[in-house]
A and B are shown apart, each in its own frame.
Chain A
Amino acid sequence: MAKRIDVSGLTAYYSSHKAIEDISMTVEPRSVTAFIGPSGCGKSTFLRTLNRMHEVTPGGRVEGKVLLDDENLYGKDVDPVAVRRTVGMVFQRPNPFPTMSIFDNVAAGLRLNGSYKKNQLADVVEKSLKGANLWNEVKDRLNKPGSGLSGGQQQRLCIARAIAVEPDVLLMDEPCSALDPISTLAIEDLIGELKERFTIVIVTHNMQQAARVSDRTAFFNLAAVGQPGRLIEIDETERIFSNPSVQATEDYISGRFG
């Protein structure tokens, strides 16, 4: 299930602009890895290269290797559609399909693959919603549109939708930045539960959040505006926040810039 990600020498571009340069790291399975860094340092871009969403952006292209348990995501003959099914993603702003019901939203990924049985689908939807701690709140209105839920509920609906297809990895791009503190707490608790089953990578602007939810933390920075972002260091979260090995990390964490 949960797989290890090995990135080596990864560089990503927007047309001719180099967004991130030469990033290498390992993401451990069944753990939460947080990406922190100032705005524009390329952490979201890097996250999107891990499921080949970066190339969806016009002009986006990638050099380097991303190994998912020894298989290169950017290898020849690799189908980006299959990659995205294996590496799920949750976005900054909750984005349930506005025209679909709650049930259909969760089932959307399964339906894409076509082969399922009716009752099995209901089971998976229930389990995914339970897995996202949302079942009790929505079980009586599964046929109502997903856009009628609150922001925090919508985000958990999106998480349920992502885990319903049983991905190996779950990428989260600032999943709480559009939410209130209570919803944020609910999502953070959920991340703690989900890491038992998935490899989780989360981008966050909030350092307390990184400290609370992650096992390992990677710090990204850029030399100057317009320069590509780079990975400064990655280590155990505890070490990063108490005794980082690079001065820039300490400066950022202690609030001296960023």
Chain B
Amino acid sequence: MASITTNTPPPPAAPAPALRRKSTGRAGDKVFLGLSRGSGILLLVLMASIAIFLSVRAGMAISKDEGNFLTTFDWDPAAQKPVFGIAVLLFGTVVSSIIAMVIAVPIAVGIALFISHYAPRKLAAPLAYVVDLLAAVPSIIYGIWGALVLVPYLEGLNSWLDEYLGWTYVFEKTEVGVARSLFTVGILLAIMILPIVTSVSREVFLQVPRMNEEAALALGATRWEVIRMSVLPFGRSGIISASMLGLGRALGETMAVATVLSPSYLISLHLLNPGGGTFAQNIAAKFDEANQLGRDALIASGLVLFVLTLLVNGAARLIIARRKEYSGANA
């Protein structure tokens, strides 16, 4: 019988006949182990079949693609000569996620520090609670809020950025139109991933051993110096993995992008111009009108997204696993 504890005492010797009796416990154990192991295996099978099924359909689509799946700037699988490519989607997905990370991670670390080290104690617990609740707000609600509230509010900021930072090229706005741009999407994604990045970072900051902080305090460190010497070095890998988790969410976000972005099949580094697209947004936008090949083409783009998030999440998990060993060694 498998046992998870290393020091489980053996069951006390029952009277001899009972030991020999074929107990129902044995059969029950087998059934139970079978069931629980079965669901574990089912989960693996599920993951494998996701990869396989998506790949099969994606393969079918790509073989009929008259353009280049990686470099074509168009999405028209219903045409006489079907052409579709993920170049624009990959660009838009990566750029909007990077903008989201650049904005969200520092702010999330700030909030996490605020909750763990700065906020008055009475405020800290409810704050942490509120942050966790906000992580549960459905993305479609962020989406309509972004489209109907945030977009108009960002007009001023956009023209400001264009005016003063236009020389950077990135912030130059060459097209008129509302702020339904990759930049706005990035800001909205940043707001959406703030709660998750914050709550993971806060967990890590709270795990910093008291004695590490006291070591810095006893040397006469100010609060900021304590954080710089003890909290941030200890929490660094935690912050990284929290950011990766946030990145994973930003990459795959569908509804918030679909509501805010006005899509186009162009790649432009003028981030304030409306246009662009992401994998998930493109699937949502094109699904209704897609024919058989169109659906397979969307599945192919979904496969790329799947691999992308798989890599990011896998990396995050590896970093967390390494941190566990590391902190265990110093406990």
Chains A and B directly touch (beta carbon < 8 Å) = yes
Which A residues lie at the B interface, using CB under 8 A? 51, 53, 56, 58, 81-86, 88-89, 91, 93, 95-100, 108-109, 112, 147, 158, 161-162, 165
Q: Is the CB of A96 within 8 A of B221?
A: no
For residues 210 through 232 of chain B, which have their beta carbon under 8 Å from a beta carbon of chain A? 211-212, 214-222, 225, 229-230
Q: What are 29 sample pairs from A and B whose C-beta atoms fall under 8 A apart? A: A53-B218, A81-B220, A82-B220, A84-B217, A84-B218, A84-B221, A85-B219, A85-B220, A89-B214, A89-B218, A91-B214, A95-B211, A95-B212, A95-B215, A97-B212, A97-B215, A97-B216, A97-B229, A98-B212, A98-B330, A99-B233, A108-B219, A108-B229, A109-B219, A112-B225, A147-B329, A147-B330, A161-B215, A165-B219
B residues in contact with A98, CB < 8 Å:
212, 233-234, 330
Nearest chain B residue, comparing its CB with the CB of A89:
B218
Q: Report A217 CB to chain B, min CB distance, Å.
A: 24
Q: B residues within 8 Å of A by Cβ?
A: 121, 209, 211-212, 214-222, 225, 229-230, 233-234, 236, 329-330
A81 touches B214 (CB 8 A): no
B127 to chain A, nearest CB (A): 16
Residues B215 and A158 in contact, CB atoms below 8 Å apart = yes
Q: Are A84 and B215 in contact (CB under 8 A)?
A: no
Q: What distance in Å separates the Cβ of B217 from its nearest Cβ neighbour in chain A?
A: 6
Which among B212, B215, B233, B236 has the greatest number of chain A C-beta atoms within 10 A? Answer: B215
Q: How far is the CB of B69 from chain A (nearest CB, A)?
A: 45
CB distance from A255 to the nearest CB of B (A): 31
A56 vs B121: C-alpha distance when bound (angstroms): 12
Beta-carbon nearest neighbor of B327 in chain A: A98
Contact at A56–B220, with CB atoms within 8 Å? no
Distance (whole angstroms) from the CB of A102 to the closest CB of chain B? 14
Partner of A84, one of B211, B219, B233: B219
Chain B residues whose C-beta falls within 8 Å of the C-beta of A100 in the assembled complex: 233
Interface centre among A82, A84, A85, A158 (most CB of B within 10 A): A84
Distance to closest chain B CB from A80 (angstroms): 9
In the complex, chain A residues whose CB is within 8 Å of the CB of B221: 81, 84, 112
Closest Cβ of chain A to B121, distance in Å, is 6
Question: Hey, which chain A residues are within 8 Å of B212, CB to CB?
Answer: 95, 97-98
Beyond A81-B220, A84-B220, is A56–B214 a contact (Cβ under 8 Å)?
Answer: yes
Give the contacting residue for B211; candidates A83, A93, A147; CB below 8 A.
A93
Q: Bound complex: CA of A97 vs CA of B216, how far in Å? A: 8
Give complex CA distance A98, B221 in Å. 17
Q: What 3 pairs between A and B have smallest CB-CB spacing?
A: A85-B220, A99-B233, A89-B218
